[in-house]
Protein backbone atom coordinates (compact mmCIF):
# COMPACT_ATOMS: atom_id res chain seq x y z
CA UNK A 1 0.00 0.00 0.00
CA UNK A 2 1.68 3.17 -1.21
CA UNK A 3 0.81 6.75 -1.97
CA UNK A 4 3.10 8.68 -4.31
CA UNK A 5 2.81 12.46 -4.32
CA UNK A 6 4.25 14.48 -7.19
CA UNK A 7 3.96 17.79 -9.03
CA UNK A 8 5.66 20.18 -6.65
CA UNK A 9 8.22 22.76 -7.65
CA UNK A 10 9.08 26.44 -7.69
CA UNK A 11 6.39 28.86 -8.85
CA UNK A 12 5.91 32.62 -8.71
CA UNK A 13 3.18 34.19 -6.64
CA UNK A 14 -0.06 34.18 -8.59
CA UNK A 15 0.91 31.05 -10.47
CA UNK A 16 -0.58 27.57 -10.39
CA UNK A 17 0.50 24.03 -9.71
CA UNK A 18 -1.28 20.69 -9.86
CA UNK A 19 -0.27 17.99 -7.42
CA UNK A 20 -0.99 14.33 -7.98
CA UNK A 21 -1.34 11.51 -5.47
CA UNK A 22 -1.03 8.15 -7.18
CA UNK A 23 -2.11 5.11 -5.23
CA UNK A 24 -2.13 1.41 -5.64
CA UNK A 25 -5.57 0.51 -6.85
CA UNK A 26 -6.60 -1.09 -3.58
CA UNK A 27 -5.60 2.00 -1.62
CA UNK A 28 -7.83 4.26 -3.64
CA UNK A 29 -10.78 2.09 -2.77
CA UNK A 30 -10.38 3.75 0.61
CA UNK A 31 -13.16 6.12 1.42
CA UNK A 32 -11.24 9.29 2.18
CA UNK A 33 -8.20 10.93 0.63
CA UNK A 34 -6.74 14.22 1.80
CA UNK A 35 -3.94 16.69 1.27
CA UNK A 36 -2.01 18.12 4.19
CA UNK A 37 0.92 20.53 4.14
CA UNK A 38 3.78 21.40 6.40
CA UNK A 39 5.22 24.91 6.04
CA UNK A 40 8.86 25.42 7.05
CA UNK A 41 9.20 25.28 10.82
CA UNK A 42 5.50 24.66 11.39
CA UNK A 43 3.14 21.79 12.14
CA UNK A 44 1.46 19.74 9.47
CA UNK A 45 -1.96 21.14 8.62
CA UNK A 46 -5.06 20.08 6.76
CA UNK A 47 -5.60 21.47 3.26
CA UNK A 48 -8.40 19.53 1.58
CA UNK A 49 -10.15 16.16 1.53
CA UNK A 50 -12.46 14.21 -0.73
CA UNK A 51 -14.60 11.20 0.06
CA UNK A 52 -16.02 8.44 -2.13
CA UNK A 53 -19.27 8.52 -0.20
CA UNK A 54 -19.66 12.17 0.73
CA UNK A 55 -20.35 14.35 -2.27
CA UNK A 56 -18.78 17.63 -1.17
CA UNK A 57 -15.02 18.08 -0.65
CA UNK A 58 -13.71 19.99 2.34
CA UNK A 59 -11.12 22.78 2.37
CA UNK A 60 -9.32 24.82 4.95
CA UNK A 61 -10.55 28.41 4.81
CA UNK A 62 -7.24 29.81 3.58
CA UNK A 63 -7.42 27.88 0.29
CA UNK A 64 -11.14 28.05 -0.48
CA UNK A 65 -11.74 29.43 -3.94
CA UNK A 66 -8.11 28.82 -4.95
CA UNK A 67 -7.55 25.07 -4.52
CA UNK A 68 -9.62 22.21 -5.90
CA UNK A 69 -9.33 18.57 -4.89
CA UNK A 70 -10.56 15.89 -7.27
CA UNK A 71 -10.21 12.18 -7.86
CA UNK A 72 -9.91 9.98 -10.92
CA UNK A 73 -10.82 6.49 -9.84
CA UNK A 74 -9.83 5.01 -13.19
CA UNK A 75 -6.28 6.20 -12.62
CA UNK A 76 -6.27 5.64 -8.84
CA UNK A 77 -5.18 9.26 -8.48
CA UNK A 78 -6.26 12.27 -6.44
CA UNK A 79 -5.31 15.75 -7.59
CA UNK A 80 -4.91 19.11 -5.92
CA UNK A 81 -5.18 21.99 -8.37
CA UNK A 82 -3.74 25.11 -6.78
CA UNK A 83 -4.37 28.53 -8.30
CA UNK A 84 -3.42 32.06 -7.29
CA UNK A 85 -0.59 30.76 -5.17
CA UNK A 86 0.79 32.90 -2.38
CA UNK A 87 4.16 32.74 -0.60
CA UNK A 88 2.23 31.50 2.45
CA UNK A 89 1.38 28.34 0.47
CA UNK A 90 5.03 27.31 0.52
CA UNK A 91 5.18 23.89 2.18
CA UNK A 92 5.78 20.21 1.75
CA UNK A 93 2.47 18.76 0.61
CA UNK A 94 1.46 15.26 1.70
CA UNK A 95 -1.40 13.10 0.55
CA UNK A 96 -3.08 10.74 2.99
CA UNK A 97 -5.79 8.10 2.81
CA UNK A 98 -8.15 6.46 5.23
CA UNK A 99 -9.71 3.03 4.81
CA UNK A 100 -13.06 3.60 6.42
CA UNK A 101 -15.59 6.36 6.56
CA UNK A 102 -15.05 9.32 8.84
CA UNK A 103 -17.43 11.97 10.03
CA UNK A 104 -16.84 15.10 8.00
CA UNK A 105 -16.03 17.19 11.05
CA UNK A 106 -12.93 15.02 11.65
CA UNK A 107 -11.48 15.12 8.13
CA UNK A 108 -8.94 17.75 9.25
CA UNK A 109 -7.42 15.41 11.88
CA UNK A 110 -4.21 13.86 10.54
CA UNK A 111 -4.38 11.13 13.20
CA UNK A 112 -7.39 9.62 11.43
CA UNK A 113 -5.46 8.63 8.28
CA UNK A 114 -3.97 5.20 7.67
CA UNK A 115 -1.60 5.83 4.76
CA UNK A 116 0.73 8.69 3.87
CA UNK A 117 2.74 9.65 0.83
CA UNK A 118 6.30 10.95 1.03
CA UNK A 119 5.51 14.60 0.36
CA UNK A 120 6.28 17.01 -2.46
CA UNK A 121 7.70 20.51 -1.98
CA UNK A 122 5.91 23.55 -3.33
CA UNK A 123 7.84 26.82 -3.14
CA UNK A 124 6.06 30.05 -4.00
CA UNK A 125 8.32 33.03 -4.61
CA UNK A 126 7.13 36.60 -4.11
Q: How far is CA 14 from CA 44, 87, 120, in A?
A: 23, 9, 19
Q: Sorting pLDDT into bands at 50, 70 and 90, what band is 119?
A: very high
Q: Which of 27, 45, 42 shows the shortest CA–CA distance to 98?
A: 27
Report CA Rg, the chain. 13
- Asked whether residue 113 carries a pLDDT value surpassing 60, the answer given is yes
Residues in the chain: 126
How much is the average pLDDT of 61-70?
A: 97
Which runs of consecutive H residues, i.e. helices, occur in the chain? none
pLDDT score for 76: 83
How much is the average pLDDT of 11-39?
A: 88
Q: Which of 42, 39, 41, 35 shows the shortest CA–CA distance to 18?
A: 35
pLDDT score for 1: 64
Amino acid sequence: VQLQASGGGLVQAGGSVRLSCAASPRTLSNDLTAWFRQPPGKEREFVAAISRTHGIPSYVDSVKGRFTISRDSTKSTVYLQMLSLEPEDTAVYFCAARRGRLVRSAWYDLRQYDYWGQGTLVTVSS
